[in-house]
Amino acid sequence: MAVTLKTNPGHFFEDFRLGQILRHATPRTVTTGDVALYTALTGSRFAVQSSDEFARSLGYPQSPIDDLLTFHMVFGKTVPDVSLNAVANLGYAACRFLAPVYPGDTLSSVSEVIGLKENSNKQTGVVYVRSKGFNQHGVTVLDYVRWVMVRKRDINAAIVEEKVPELPKALTPSEIGAACPPLAREKFDLELSGAPHRFGDYQKGERIDHVDGMTVEEAEHMTATRLYQNTAKVHFNQFTEGQGRFGRRLIYGGHVISLARALSFNGLGNAFHIAAINAGRHVAPLFAGLTVHAWSEILETAEIPGRSDVGALRIRTIATKDKTCASFPDKEGDSTDPAVILDLDYWALIPR
């Protein structure tokens, strides 16, 4: 009997074309079970995303899901078409959270190829995509750019289209905040939120050691990857990765972002909503058994046009592996240190 190929091998670098539209399977309905599992995997403690009653007191209909859970679920949809054959996810830019997502909402995603650049070794290339996530009503809840290094199927394949897109270094305060409805800021209970600091308590240049560390185990990062339906081979297949460059599965970089964000609660507990990600780099890989630490620098404080309830903090969060923040006494954000695994620049909203 003849063998027929009905499986999806994923796109290799030479398969992508500028302007290509990729409509991703499978729509995903978010449940309270997803929220509970995300909390178990990351330890996130932000009050608005933790308590329906707290959220309702501010004006939400119920507690929205964590912004990064939205990101991971939309991201996970894109993997089979964009990064199934990836070597590594390299970075993010121009990421905007545009509408809150609640349990019961269904998420889907679409990507457009906006850039291609073959690497000099001719074995891989970098693919730039703009991905959008939508809810069941067709409302865009997330819009972001990422770039990923993808293997070539044939190193001799000629690449005829190349372009590196120009991306903004940072979004402006007028471009963020859409995912946060007007809040009753006077009802933001600082005792229940677990943090005493509001917008006016932060200053540009301030550096915050988040103090705590979180060790990642194999079962945790594997469960996280599956929760987001992220099928990238580098994260879940030890049989293949054991024969690869590192000899181990890589922990999904988005999981590192979530861990750093959860750790940031200690010092930024009222910065409850990620409004935008300006830029992000996975500086080095993380493996199970290592401990993540983090610190943040306030790059900018800004008022949001038309909003008197919340202000915005532009934050640079650095995450490290097996090296505490006390080992970086000046915390200059030097991402050349081999212990640094994440360099993330984002806007977060905080009550005024």
Average pLDDT for consecutive 10-residue bins of the chain (352 residues)?
A: 76 96 97 98 97 97 98 96 88 95 98 97 96 98 96 92 94 91 94 97 96 94 93 84 87 95 98 96 93 97 95 97 84 75 97 96
Measured CA angle at 283 (ends 232, 331), to 5 deg:
145
What does the alpha-carbon distance between residue 233 and residue 80 come to, in Å, rounded to a whole number?
10
Give start and end residues of each alpha helix (H) in the chain.
32-42, 47-50, 52-58, 67-82, 190-193, 218-227, 233-236, 238-241, 253-263, 265-268
- pLDDT value at position 236? 82
* Structure letter (DSSP) for residue 7: S
Distance separating alpha carbons of residues 232 and 85, to the nearest angstrom? 7
Q: What is the DSSP string of 56-82?
A: HHHT-SSPPPPHHHHHHHHHHHHHHHH
Question: Strand pairing partners for 204?
Answer: none
Residue written as tokens 């930024």? 268
Q: Measure the CA dihedral 85/88/94/98, to 10°.
A: 60
What SS3 class is residue 187? Answer: helix
3-state secondary structure of 263: helix
Q: What does the alpha-carbon distance between residue 102 and residue 352 come to, in Å, rounded to a whole number?
A: 24
- Secondary structure element (H or E) that encloses residue 116, with its range: strand 106-118
- How far is residue 308's CA from residue 303's CA, in Å, rounded to a whole number? 8
Q: Tell me the one-letter amino acid at 206.
A: E
Q: How far is CA 324 from CA 84, 252, 292, 295, in A?
A: 33, 21, 8, 9
Could you give all domains of the chain from N- to C-terminal order, each with its CATH number? 13-351 (3.10.129.10)
Question: Residue 345 has what pLDDT?
Answer: 97
List the helix and strand counts (H, then E) for the chain.
10, 11
Distances (CA, A) of 247 to 152, 237, 292: 21, 11, 21
Q: Residue 221: what are its φ and ψ, rounded to 5°?
A: -70, -30
Please answer whether residues 311 and 199 qualify as being in contact, where contact means their C-beta atoms are separated by less than 8 angstroms. Answer: yes
| Bridge partners, residue 145, by sequence | 93, 130
79 in Cβ contact with 230 (< 8 Å): yes
Residue pair 344/317 in contact (Cβ under 8 Å)? The answer is yes
Q: Please report the pLDDT score of residue 337 as a whole number.
A: 87
Query: In angstroms, rounded to a whole number, what is the distance separating the alpha carbons of residues 268 and 338?
Result: 26
DSSP class of 24: P
Helix, strand, or coil here: 235?
A: helix
